[in-house]
Amino acid sequence: MERFFSKAPKSFNSNIETSGAKDMIDNYNEKNNRAREVDISDDDIIVDPGLRKSIDSYPVGLRDELRRKYLVKGPCQPRGHNFPATKFGEIRRSFQDQWFKTYDWLEYSVSKDAAYCLWCYLFSNGHKHGDTAFTEIDQRSNVDYVMMQKSSEMEDTYRIRLTAVVKVIRYILKQGLAFRGHDESTQSICRGNFLELYKWYGDNNDKVGKVIDINAPGNNQLTSPYIQKQIINACSSEVRSFILAEIEDKWFSLLIDEARDSSIKEQMSLNVTDTSKSLKNSIDEFLAINGLSLSMVRGQGYDETSNMRGQFNGLKALILKENENAYYVHCLAHQLQLVIISSVSQNGLVSNFFEYLSMIVNIVGASCKRRDELRQRQFDDLARHVELGDIATRKGMNQSRNEFGSSR
């Protein structure tokens, strides 16, 4: 049976010699020789790990000597043995001889057709060391189980944090409020609508408060402007999807205009350059992304600029080349503006009227006190009509509507 033993690696024996551990073991054994009840012979070393008695079943004075003999012998590794195969589902599997090369601690019991761990047998202190050592594992102490539990907890806190952020963003979008603040640092007393409302939400909801701000990982706060924009785009996509669901395969029209931001720069929902070709390409891309077809367009409305309604290369002309049914309608508000400009240029009285009107609007609008005085005069005038009975006879109602823009 000696052929079943795989001698202990030379590195193990050399470590004993160099570290002085061998002398310590010899001294310990000599000290306990007097207490031995039975001497240990080579016959006491059981080759088959499935037939061995537990180390704990031997007298205390013999255990270290027994461990040393097993270490010198090495693990039981019957190389070249015909390992029986066991059927698992549709596949027959068996112990592999090559595993001995990878795991020098691995043992195999011929009698039980089971794998064992030599180190577990020698130093387990009564714990599992046989074939059940690889199957009867405490799952709650298993690393994978602990990591899975931790991951599940992190997933729950992340979901709570993300839901809170989405709710705050939806509220701000619904109210049409600005997100960012002038100073969003932790020392700021007013960090902007988003961060302040987010903090307020956490202060008034214990479940949320436990997973945000200082209670959240530094790299998982979900409050950066980049994250905010991603969620805003997601909300925009949901709204757009709802609108597209209403359109389905119906006809629709295109209305495009620019708006100035606080830096006096013209912006549009589609980022484009000034050329009509860029506008056309952006529209084509937008329609394709949202599953719409340019052939279903039955109307288009822009202002008077050449790149929009130019007869040959304007956006209107480029769309009409592909869809002759996309009739162009000039922006009505811009038409009114052009009428006013034309009238002013031809009539001095009209020009003076609009000039004075613009000055009055600017002067009154620039002062809260002047606006309050104007509103008070309107109220006093309306109250005077009520006292005179003009409102009851409906005479003053028409006058008040014409003068003040409201019958109230």
Distance in angstroms between the alpha carbons of the first and the last residue of the chain: 112
334 vs 69, more confident = 69
- The length of the chain in residues reads 408
What's the pLDDT at 349?
85
What's the pLDDT at 15?
47
Q: Highest-confidence range of 51-60, 132-141, 272-281, 387-396, by mean pLDDT?
A: 51-60
Closest CA to 305 of 347, 269, 274, 340: 274
Which tokens hold the place of 97? 């001889």
324 vs 392, more confident = 324
Instruction: Kindly report the average pLDDT of the chain as a whole number.
Output: 79
Q: Highest-confidence range of 228-237, 263-272, 283-292, 319-328, by mean pLDDT?
A: 228-237
Domain membership of residue 387 (yes or no) is: yes
Does one domain contain both 254 and 283?
A: yes
Phi and psi (nearest 5°) for 92?
-100, 125
pLDDT confidence bin for 310, thresholds 50/70/90: low
Does one domain contain both 130 and 151?
A: no
Q: Of the residues 233, 261, 287, which one is the last residue of a structural domain?
A: 233
93: β partners: 86
Q: What is the mean pLDDT of residues 21-43?
A: 57
Whether the pLDDT of residue 209 is over 50: the answer is: yes
pLDDT confidence bin for 405, thresholds 50/70/90: very low
30-39, 75-84, 234-243, 354-363: least confident range: 30-39
Domain membership of residue 313 (yes or no) is: yes
CB 75 within 8 A of CB 106: yes
Sequence-distant (≥ 6) Cβ neighbours of residue 47 within 8 angstroms:
1, 2, 4, 5, 76
pLDDT confidence bin for 177, thresholds 50/70/90: very high
Does one domain contain both 153 and 126?
A: no
Does one domain contain both 45 and 115?
A: yes
Q: What is the mean pLDDT of residues 3-27?
A: 54
Q: Of the residues 136, 165, 194, which one is the last residue of a structural domain?
A: 136
pLDDT confidence bin for 6, thresholds 50/70/90: low
Q: Highest-confidence range of 87-96, 186-195, 295-304, 341-350, by mean pLDDT?
A: 186-195
pLDDT confidence bin for 306, thresholds 50/70/90: low
Domain membership of residue 72 (yes or no) is: yes
CB 28 within 8 A of CB 68: no
208 vs 139, more confident = 208
Domain membership of residue 243 (yes or no) is: no
Q: Of the residues 233, 257, 288, which one is the last residue of a structural domain?
A: 233
Does one domain contain both 259 and 322?
A: yes
Please name the helix (run of DSSP H) or strand (run of DSSP E) that holds residue 387, with its range, or none. Answer: helix 368-388
Whether the pLDDT of residue 58 is over 90: the answer is: no
Distance of CA 42 to the CA centre of its chain: 65
Does one domain contain both 12 and 119?
A: yes
Domain membership of residue 82 (yes or no) is: yes
Does one domain contain both 222 and 254?
A: no
What's the pLDDT at 270?
58
161 vs 58, more confident = 161
Does one domain contain both 212 and 121?
A: no
Whether the pLDDT of residue 383 is over 70: the answer is: yes
Q: Highest-confidence range of 195-204, 237-246, 276-285, 288-297, by mean pLDDT?
A: 195-204
Does one domain contain both 86 and 185?
A: no
d(CA 182, CA 203): 23
Which tokens hold the place of 336? 């009114």
Number of domains in the chain: 4
9 vs 14, more confident = 9
Domain membership of residue 339 (yes or no) is: no
Q: What is the pTM of this model?
A: 0.47
What's the pLDDT at 272?
59
Q: Computed from CA positions of residues 39, 40, 43, 46, in that sequence, does the dihedral angle turn out positive or negative?
A: positive
Does one domain contain both 316 and 396?
A: no
Each residue's pLDDT tens digit, 254-291: 887 766 655 556 556 555 555 677 888 888 888 888 88
Whether the pLDDT of residue 143 is over 90: the answer is: no
71-75, 158-162, 204-208, 279-283: least confident range: 279-283
Closest CA to 107 of 148, 76, 146, 128: 76
Instruction: Report the amino acid identity of residue 281.
Output: N
What's the pLDDT at 53?
87
**Residue 361 structural domain:** 348-404
Q: If phi over 0 gives left and psi between -120 and 50 gives alpha, with beta otherwise, what is residue 137?
A: beta
SS3 content of the chain, % helix, strand, coil (to 5): 60, 10, 35
Instruction: Report the amino acid identity of residue 346.
Output: Q
What's the pLDDT at 235?
93
Domain membership of residue 340 (yes or no) is: no
CB 144 within 8 A of CB 115: no
Domain membership of residue 67 (yes or no) is: yes
The percent of residues in the chain predicted with pLDDT above 90, rounded, is: 22
Distance of CA 22 to the CA centre of its chain: 58
Does one domain contain both 44 and 124?
A: yes
Q: How many CA atoms lie within 13 A of 292 on its CB side?
A: 23
Does one domain contain both 171 and 208?
A: yes
Coil, strand or helix at 219: coil
